[in-house]
């Protein structure tokens, strides 16, 4: 759904009016969960203030749901009407096709230098930055304090603790002792969180896919044998459980533990759930890294408005605007200046545990043009690895072969 109702307007190219004004067009994702908190409100205010300070530049923003926004941009580009900017989930395909400005062409040096390095590095293709981080989040293990108290247990710090806690919760009749959403909605996230906690991840040390490493197979074997096989993940098979459904069950008090991002805090509080959050446990203690997620801003070259885009993006990434957006949607700032302000502010205490995880977080391999296809394969297949008769080695091996083939076909390089 177009939150601004601007589908027809955005079908055309950006241009200049007869008065010499340049009109920039931005397509952005909607982070709100209703019309009352749609991102439209954020962009309306930001654009109004920007235009008041910058004569000669108008900005039109089309806001679309996350279900539609990536496809909308793809459609516009294919039709030869690329927007000037897009704030969406992936940039690598457009960068590889030569459609994007480099970040240093559309950002001033101080603004570019202010990005958190772990985020800006993830915006690179062949060591050149095209993706500009826009919003970030990390994951923590959420647990229901009431259910934990009733079971007489403490939050886990190791996998063995987690399994023991889940057993205790099951004995108390908890519906989902540990909710494991490996359904098609966002299985690539839950998978990556577990691979990292097992000491590995999607890539090896050289930036190549390594999905079926011994550690990764061991991680999913443990999940299959120690959680799923012992009935500790609830009545819905992990391969059919989506993240949104798992979150909803947590807000109903039916889940003992699950991996969650900051938005779950607000939803749980609204339903009166007493919860705590701890770092994801690892095999023998706290995991060395957690999963981070970043959404991206990119600037298309087609309309040639480099100077005007630069003025607008420098404004977008001003500290007050970065903080405003982050606080509005319980997200983490992508700039060092805004992160420092948030870390020191009592009003942002809820986000502090997530912010602490960010420097050591690992992001999806979004610099690979093959990642979108690999991610889609993971969503379809990974649930089978922990299902009845499933083989982690076989499923991860199949995913690895497909990933290598896709990587070779696209010539991906992180």
**CB 324: neighbour CB atoms within 10 A?**
15
Q: Looking at residues 296-325, what average pLDDT do you find?
A: 97
- CA 121 to CA 196: how far, in whole Å? 19
Measured distance CA(258)–CA(168) in Å, rounded: 15
In a domain, 2, yes or no: no
Q: How far apart are CA 25 and CA 85, in angstroms?
A: 7
Q: Which domain holds residue 133?
A: 7-137+293-363
d(CA 356, CA 132): 21
Q: Pick from 283, 282, 277: which is nearest to 264 by CA?
A: 277
Among the residue ranges 138-142, 192-196, 290-294, the one predicted with the least confidence is 290-294
Q: Comparing 236-250, 278-292, 399-413, which segment has the lowest mean pLDDT?
A: 399-413
Helices (H), 157-305: 159-171, 187-197, 214-222, 243-251, 263-270
Tally of helices (H runs) and strands (E runs) in the chain = 19, 13
Specify whether 278 is located in the same domain as 393: yes
In-domain check, residue 1 = no
Position 182 in a domain: yes
Same domain (yes/no): 101, 180: no
Handedness of CA 92, 98, 104, 105 (dihedral sign): negative
Report the alpha-carbon distance of residue 174 to residue 188 in Å, rounded: 26
CA gap 218, 224 in Å, rounded: 10
Average pLDDT, integer, range 121-131: 92
Same-domain pairing of 16 and 110: yes
Confirm whether 38 is domain-assigned: yes
Asked whether residue 115 falls in the same domain as residue 210, the answer is no
The residues pairing with 176 across neighbouring beta strands, listed in sequence order, are: 255
168 and 267 fall within a common domain: yes
Provide the 8-state DSSP code for 406: H
Nearest Cα neighbor of 253 from 334, 169, 309 is 169
Q: Locate 347 and state its tokens.
A: 């009003």
Tell me how long the chain is: 414
Residues whose CB is less than 8 angstroms from the CB of residue 319 and which lie 6 or more positions away in sequence, other chains included? 335, 337, 338, 341
pLDDT value for 12: 39
Answer yes or no: do 320 and 192 share one domain. no
- Only one residue has tokens 């690598």, namely 92
Same domain, residue pair 221 and 93: no
Distance of CA 119 to the CA centre of its chain: 12
Residue 1 has pLDDT above 90, yes or no: no
Is pLDDT above 80 for 11?
no
| pLDDT value of position 9 | 35
> Which residue matches tokens 């982690």?
392
Q: Which pLDDT value is given to residue 110?
A: 97
The secondary structure of 119-145 as a DSSP string is: HHGGGEETTEE-PEEEEEEE-EEEEEH
Give the pLDDT band of residue 293 (cuts 50, 70, 90). very high
Same domain, yes or no, for 20 and 130? yes
Overall average pLDDT of the 114-140 stretch? 94
Domain shared by 178 and 280, yes or no: yes
Locus of tokens 């990536």: 70
- pLDDT 10s digits, 336-392: 999 999 999 999 999 999 999 998 899 999 989 899 899 999 999 999 999 999 999
pLDDT for position 8: 31
Q: Do the Cβ atoms of 170 and 229 come closer than 8 Å?
A: no
Clarify whether residues 128 and 176 are in a common domain: no
- CB neighbours of residue 394 within 10 Å: 13
User: Looking at the domain assignment, is residue 40 inside a domain?
Assistant: yes
Looking at the structure, do residues 281 and 318 belong to the same domain, yes or no?
no
pLDDT in tens, 206-263: 999 999 999 999 999 999 999 999 999 999 999 999 999 999 999 999 999 999 999 8
Helix/strand/coil for 87: strand
Q: What is the total count of domains within the chain? A: 2
Q: What is the pLDDT of residue 412?
A: 54
Average per-residue pLDDT in the chain?
92
Task: Kindly report, residue by residue over 27-57, the tens digit of the pLDDT.
Answer: 999 998 778 889 999 999 999 999 999 999 9
197, 281 Cβ separation under 8 angstroms = yes
Tell me what pLDDT residue 17 has. Answer: 42
Residue 123 within a domain: yes
Q: Please say if the pLDDT value at position 3 is more than 70.
A: no
Using the predicted structure, report yes or no on whether residue 5 has a pLDDT greater than 50.
no
pLDDT band at 15 (very low <50, low <70, confident <90, very high): low
Q: What is the pLDDT of residue 30?
A: 94
pLDDT at residue 413 is higher than 90:
no
CATH number of domain containing 328: 3.40.190.10
54 and 190 in one domain? no
């Amino acid at each position: 759904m177009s939150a601004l109702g601007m589908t027809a307007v955005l079908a055309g190219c950006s241009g200049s009016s007869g008065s010499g004004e340049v009109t920039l067009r931005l397509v952005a994702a909607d982070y709100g969960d209703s019309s009352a908190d749609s991102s439209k409100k954020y962009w309306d205010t930001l654009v109004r203030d920007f235009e008041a300070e910058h004569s000669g530049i108008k900005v039109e923003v089309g806001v679309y749901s996350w279900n539609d926004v990536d496809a909308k941009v793809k459609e516009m580009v294919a039709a030869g009407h690329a927007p000037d900017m897009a704030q969406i989930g992936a940039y690598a395909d457009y960068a590889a096709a030569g459609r994007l400005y480099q970040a240093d062409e559309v950002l001033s040096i101080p603004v570019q230098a202010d990005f958190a390095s772990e985020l800006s590095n993830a915006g690179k293709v062949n060591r050149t930055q095209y993706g500009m981080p826009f919003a970030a989040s990390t994951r923590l293990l959420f647990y229901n304090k009431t259910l934990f108290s009733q079971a007489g247990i403490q939050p886990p710090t190791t996998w063995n603790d987690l399994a023991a806690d889940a057993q205790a919760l099951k004995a108390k009749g908890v519906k989902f002792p540990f909710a494991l959403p490996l359904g098609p909605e966002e299985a690539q996230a839950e998978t990556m969180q577990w691979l990292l906690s097992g000491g590995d991840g999607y890539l090896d040390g050289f930036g190549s896919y390594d999905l079926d490493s011994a550690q990764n197979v061991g991680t999913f074997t443990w999940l299959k044998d120690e959680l799923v096989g012992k009935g500790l993940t609830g009545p819905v098979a992990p391969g059919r459980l989506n993240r949104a459904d798992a979150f909803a069950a947590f807000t109903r008090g039916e889940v003992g533990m699950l991996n969650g991002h900051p938005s779950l805090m607000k939803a749980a509080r609204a339903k009166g759930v007493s919860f705590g959050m701890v770092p994801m446990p690892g095999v023998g203690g706290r995991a060395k890294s957690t999963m981070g997620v970043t959404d991206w801003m990119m600037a298309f070259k087609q309309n040639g408005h480099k100077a005007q885009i630069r003025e607008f993006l420098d404004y977008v990434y001003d500290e007050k605007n970065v903080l405003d957006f982050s606080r509005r949607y319980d997200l983490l700032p992508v700039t060092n200046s805004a992160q420092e302000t948030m870390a020191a502010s009592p009003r942002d205490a809820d986000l502090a545990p997530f912010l602490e995880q960010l420097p050591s977080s690992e992001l999806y391999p979004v610099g690979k043009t093959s990642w979108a296809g690999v991610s889609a394969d993971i969503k379809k297949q990974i649930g089978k690895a922990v299902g009845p008769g499933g083989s982690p080695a076989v499923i991860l091996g199949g995913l690895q072969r497909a990933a290598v083939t896709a990587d070779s076909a696209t010539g991906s390089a992180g």
